[in-house]
Amino acid sequence: MRRDWTSALLLTLCALGLRLFVALCVTNDCSGDGPVYQRIGLNVLRHGVYSVESEAPLSPTYIRVPGYPLVLAAVFALFGEGNVNAVHAVQAVLDTGTCWLAATLGLLWAPAGWDASRRRRAALWAFALAAVCPFTIVYSGTLLTETWALFWGTLCITAGVWALKAEGGGLQGWLAAGVAGGVGCMFRPDLGLYLAALGALLLWAWFREARSDWRRAGDWRAALQGTRRTVARGLAFSFAFAAALTPWTIRNAVQFQLFQPLAPATACMPDEFVARGYGTWVKTWITRPRDVEFFIWDVEEKPVEATRLPDEAFDSPEERARVAAFFERYNRGDGTEPPSAREEVDLRITPALDAEFGALATERIQRHPLRYGLLLPARRAWNIWFDTHSVYYPSDGDLLPLSNLETSSGQQILLPSFYILTWLYTVAGLAGAWLLWRSPECRRWVVLVALLFLPRLAFLSSMPNPEPRYMVELFPLVAAMGAAAVAASARTSEGALEQG
């Protein structure tokens, strides 16, 4: 036991040191959302107004949920306005806590037949796998919500798993899971999928329990008692979640006379134009994360080079010329004067141009409905997960073609290594899932991870902006699953040595 505590302390210090080093010395924070969060946080600190504006009048907004901007405001109040390094240090500490949550999951998910030593070993392996995961470490050094989503999402699942294993209903665990999930949604609204997965598992556990009670006792009273227990758990879970969302919902209702418990999907205010036609057109061909930067995030910020479009964006030479004409109009601003004739060009997708993009998107969907509804989402899903996850590292870039990798920045080493590492984590997680599935009492944890992974992947692949960073929240869970496989493998090796 003393050796385990010593190992835990050393692992904690190493994990924290690694995160501080990456956050303060390695990360290349070039995120587009970071300045938005920082601006809101500073407006809250200086003026007490939740606004994204940089100049007066500061109009209130609800396009971002308040968790991260309020964190920035608090850190800036304590350590100085604009002290980004303090934010990074806080996030490094928080992410180290996420590693311990992964360790707790590794302990809770261990098969009942394992002795205490094996269970502790599974926990330490889960911590180690989470601690060295470069895909999550890097976000400690960004002004993005990922580190906070990692923590609150993993805490939500950990509390839910503990509640499912608790005797007597585990109401405290369900309350904690609901609060963690609700607070997490104040950082990233898509964490609502975590609560949906836990709710589905709760219903599945109720169904199995009720069926078992009925078969064993043949008495409807036993099944009714289990139903009451499940209802109490569900109410505690739902109440805690709703309570966490209530302050923000009330603020939006008072400020805007609008029921808006989360951020709008468009990240726009009602009076802002949303280029839905253009978004649908992009969705008819985009599958690679690298195209998202050029044809989604850079739009209305920079001119668009139509020559960057891949062949998948067109079905014919005529369509290619049509799209090139659209972007030429966009690059000219109003479509009448060349950019050189004016000092500044108003780069935006106008309603008229958006309608033409929408008409083209409709044509493409009607020509190839299977491609739009199935093949493209499948490719996006693959690219979202099996990515190098190297964004915000100095050597970030595209893995393929290999001949284009820059040797001066170390891309030829980092990108292939990260891609292989993604596969190693995936294989370890699948091996752990297979091992846990062999233990009947652990199958529900495999179901839980599937409920967390598959709907999230399906949801993100249905969006026109497939970004791998939206999947990093799952790596602590993959680490906890993989730890079971590593611990079991160590046990098998020791057994072979003892027999030898």
Residue-wise pLDDT tens digits, 243-263: 999 999 999 999 999 999 998
Give the pLDDT of residue 290: 84
What pLDDT score does 344 carry? 61
In this predicted model, which residue has the larger pLDDT, 64 or 214?
A: 64
Q: What is the pLDDT of residues 368-425, one digit of tens each?
A: 999 999 999 999 999 999 999 999 999 888 888 888 888 888 889 999 999 999 999 9
Q: Is the bond preceding residue 339 a cis peptide, omega within 30 degrees? A: no
Mean pLDDT of the 218-246 span: 83
**Single pTM value for the model:** 0.92
Which of 9, 60, 124, 77 is CA-nearest to residue 480?
124
- What pLDDT is recorded for position 498? 44
Structure tokens at 170: 């585990």
**Helix H or strand E segment including 413:** helix 411-437
Q: How far apart are CA 140 and CA 89, in angstroms?
A: 8
Kindly state the greatest CA–CA separation across the chain. 86
CA distance 120 to 491: 12
**Amino acid at site 409:** S
Give the residue-averaged pLDDT of 83-89.
96
Give the per-residue pLDDT at 222. Answer: 60
Percentage of the chain lying above the pLDDT 90 cut: 68
What is the C-alpha separation between 335 and 203, in angstroms, rounded? 57
Averaged confidence pLDDT in the chain: 89
* Region of poorest pLDDT, from 3-17, 69-83, 121-135, 367-381: 3-17
pLDDT at 346 over 90: no
Helices (H), 257-302: 276-283, 289-292
pLDDT of res. 493: 47
What torsion do the CA atoms of 70, 73, 77, 80 make, to the nearest 10 degrees?
150
* 303-342 per-position pLDDT tens digit: 988 888 999 999 999 999 999 999 999 998 754 555 554 4
Distance CA 34, CA 37 (A): 5
Answer yes or no: is pLDDT of 459 > 70: yes
Whole-Å CA distances, 371 to 310, 360, 385, 458: 16, 15, 20, 15
Query: What is the reported pLDDT for 88?
Result: 97
Q: Within a 10 A sphere around the Cβ of 8, how many other Cβ atoms?
A: 16
Does the structure show a pLDDT above 70 at 134?
yes
- Indicate the SS3 state at residue 51: strand
Q: Mean per-residue pLDDT for 41-54?
A: 94
pLDDT (0 to 100) of residue 497: 35
Average of pLDDT values for 98-119?
A: 93
